[in-house]
């Protein structure tokens, strides 16, 4: 899960290490689209993810036949918005996944980073006006084009929670860990990330540590967003963590 909630598609953004890991580590990889905001809110997007997990657990093994897949051994992973959905599955999917692998995840659309303007790139509002219409066409992905500017437009205007239809605490990760728990979790987030502030993860990890939950946190210095989208990044320590729970 590596879309940005407002734009993207699974076949353009799955990092090479996830694809290469299929042969290297012997897992089955399932990548899914979900409906995009703001035409759909995070509650409905999470339901898309829940439906995907239910399909994996209840139908996919039978469709593949034989012993090709053990649906009881499920790890959820995602980057950025996908990392946020990964954490939400850890909170709200039962039975919980065996482990979570979160790569520079969003954790709180109402947090300081997303409620403060981040004008990294100024976007002409006319480019994205049609995609801001909440009554517009509901889509699960988009071709390359103007919609790809939606995330930058959101950072500039600090309106992520509004676009995702988030209010209250239900979808703020750190606010729900004590009540819901989380399975063993690996998180990596570079401290030079200007697309998702690293303070988002710092808070979540602090809560997990305080509650005695298992978490491995890598915070590489000078590393920006999307650092893992090249062939030379193998994320070996993340997969070593994964293998402990599969």
Mean pLDDT confidence for 119-140: 91
Element (H, E) at 76: strand 75-79
DSSP string, 227-239: TT-STT---HHHH
pLDDT tens by residue, 8-38? 877 767 899 999 999 999 999 999 889 999 9
Asked if the model's pLDDT at residue 98 lies above 50, the reply is yes
Q: Determine the Cα–Cα distance for residues 51 and 3; give it in Å rounded to an integer.
A: 17
pLDDT tens by residue, 192-238? 999 999 999 999 999 999 999 999 999 999 999 999 999 999 999 99
Model's pTM, two decimal places?
0.96
């Amino acid at each position: 899960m590596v879309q940005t909630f407002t734009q993207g598609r699974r076949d353009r953004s799955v990092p090479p290490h996830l694809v290469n890991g299929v042969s290297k580590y012997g897992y089955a990889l399932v990548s899914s689209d979900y409906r995009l905001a703001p035409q759909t809110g995070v509650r409905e997007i999470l339901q898309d993810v829940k439906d995907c997990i239910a399909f994996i657990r209840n139908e996919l093994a039978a469709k593949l036949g034989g012993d090709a897949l053990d649906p009881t051994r499920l790890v959820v992973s995602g980057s950025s918005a996908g990392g946020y959905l990964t954490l939400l599955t850890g909170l709200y999917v039962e039975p919980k996944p065996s482990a979570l692998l979160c790569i520079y995840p969003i954790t709180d659309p109402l947090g300081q980073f997303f409620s403060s303007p981040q004008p990294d790139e100024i976007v002409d509002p006319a480019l994205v006006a049609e995609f801001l219409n909440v009554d517009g066409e509901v889509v699960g992905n988009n071709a390359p084009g103007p919609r790809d500017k939606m995330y930058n437009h959101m950072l500039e205007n600090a309106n992520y929670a509004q676009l995702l239809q988030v209010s209250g605490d239900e979808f703020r990760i750190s606010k729900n860990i004590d009540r819901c728990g989380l399975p063993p979790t690996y998180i990596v987030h570079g401290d030079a990330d200007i697309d998702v502030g690293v303070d988002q993860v710092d808070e979540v990890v602090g809560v997990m540590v305080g509650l005695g939950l298992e978490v491995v946190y890598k915070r590489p210095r000078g590393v920006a967003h999307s650092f893992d989208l090249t062939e030379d990044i193998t994320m070996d320590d993340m997969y070593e963590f994964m293998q402990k729970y599969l």
